Structure 1
Amino acid sequence: MATPVTRRSLREQSPSSVAPAAVPAVPTGAAGRRHPGRLIADALLWLAAVGGVICIVLVVLAFTAQITLIMFRTGSMSPTIPAGSVAVVQRVPASDIAIGDVVTVDRADELPITHRVTSVEPGATADERIITMRGDANAQEDPFPYTVTSVRTVLFSIPGIATVIAGMGNPYVLGALTLAATTVVVWAFWPRAERAERAERRGRDGGSP
């Protein structure tokens, strides 16, 4: 005759007698390894992200601190700033100019010129200064002085990258970069969604392959 089940008998049962719920096994092996192509795609995505952050920072600096970039196509400031360099410059009032500064002067109907200041004289107003300049590679000063109310002073320069930056303005280069970035994004994210769906299906089916 079967023994009746009472509340007391249920309370006296040991918790260890209850069988633990089955835990689905985590797939290992080939599914857990990362393909070399995936590593390359992730690295390219990180590079693109870093480049995007740098562009955002430059835009913010241009509007808030008037910091921009200029490229050197000639070697008039060699060896301090050789041809092919990119300099980071900041616009400052003429009253901040000192002898020895390397500054960029904007000229009407001509390209800007970046040379070293050799003299500073007061101008017609309190905001104006009359400066003379000379390139480090030049034996003589520029042929005439410059009357300025503001200039762009060189903070620092990076040699050899002007060609790369100038090349990015080419429409064919921009098109190739856009196509490459699109390919990397699709390659990086599309397979991840497929793997997630397969893993979810395996979980619903009880872990069967």
Structure 2
Amino acid sequence: MTRVARPKAGRAARVAVIGIAALVGVLIVASLAAQLLGVRVYRITSGSMEPTIVAGETILTRSTAADDLVVGDIVTTQRRGSERTVTHRIVRMEDAGGERVLWLQGDANPNPDPAPYTVSQVHRYVFTLF
């Protein structure tokens, strides 16, 4: 019986498909784990937090209850009724009946943001990814 050699391209294609399927599986598991842990990734678009966080960098944040925050934390939140997010440092805090009022300021900004943010939960900066 004569054995016919299989083309190497067919084997390489199968290996590539298996590799891609494994990568997709890992990404799905990582995405589900991130949602369960309250982890989010944000791309910083302005220089307001320089030199701590540079415009264009990507940061990792973790969902945090307002009760666990301290002045000096860097947080990402959005103003009520707005879809835009802001990543700034907490410079002042007050309790407000189960929520917290945060005054935020970018490290590169001379003054705090014009209005405070009332929150029950925010995303606290963990580290810069790249």
TM-score > 0.5 by shorter chain: yes
1:99 to 71, 84, 101: 71
In the superposition, the TM-score normalised over structure 1's length comes to 0.51
C-alpha contact (below 8 Å) 1:58/1:68 kept by paired residues: no
Q: Indicate the percent of aligned positions where both proteins have the same amino acid.
A: 34
Q: What does 1:109-188 align with in structure 2 at a 5 Å threshold?
A: 109-123=82-96, 125=97, 127-159=98-130
* Aligned-partner Cα distance in 2 for 1:83–1:52: 32
Give the unaligned 5+ runs of structure 2: none
The range that moved more, 103-112 or 46-55, is 46-55
Give the unaligned 5+ runs of structure 1: 1-26, 160-209
* Aligned-partner Cα distance in 2 for 1:75–1:37: 50
**What letter corresponds to residue 125 of structure 2 in structure 1?**
V
Per-residue Cα deviation, 1:157-190 (whole angstroms, up to 9, x for no partner) = 223xxxxxxxxxxxxxxxxxxxxxxxxxxxxxxx
* Aligned-partner Cα distance in 2 for 1:77–1:44: 42
Aligned pair in 2 of structure 1 residues 52, 83: CA closer, same or farther (>3 Å)?
farther
Higher relative contact order (CA 8 A, sep 6+): 2
Aligned pair in 2 of structure 1 residues 42, 95: CA closer, same or farther (>3 Å)?
same
1:49, CA displacement in angstroms? 3.0
> Which residue in 2 is equivalent to 1:83?
55
Please give the secondary structure, in 2, of the residue aligned with 1:53.
Answer: helix
1:112, CA displacement in angstroms? 1.2
Please give the secondary structure, in 2, of the residue aligned with 1:50.
Answer: helix
**What letter corresponds to residue 88 of structure 2 in structure 1?**
H
2:43 to 56, 71, 95: 71
Which protein has the bigger helix share? Answer: 1
Aligned pair in 2 of structure 1 residues 41, 154: CA closer, same or farther (>3 Å)?
farther
* Aligned-partner Cα distance in 1 for 2:74–2:123: 9
**What letter corresponds to residue 56 of structure 2 in structure 1?**
G
1:101, CA displacement in angstroms? 0.7
CA RMSD of aligned residues (A): 2.8
**What letter corresponds to residue 145 of structure 1 in structure 2?**
P
**What letter corresponds to residue 118 of structure 2 in structure 1?**
T
> Which residue in 2 is equivalent to 1:4?
none
Q: Rg bigger for which structure?
A: 1
State how many pairs are aligned: 127
C-alpha contact (below 8 Å) 1:103/1:151 kept by paired residues: yes
* Aligned-partner Cα distance in 1 for 2:54–2:14: 35
In the superposition, the TM-score normalised over structure 2's length comes to 0.78
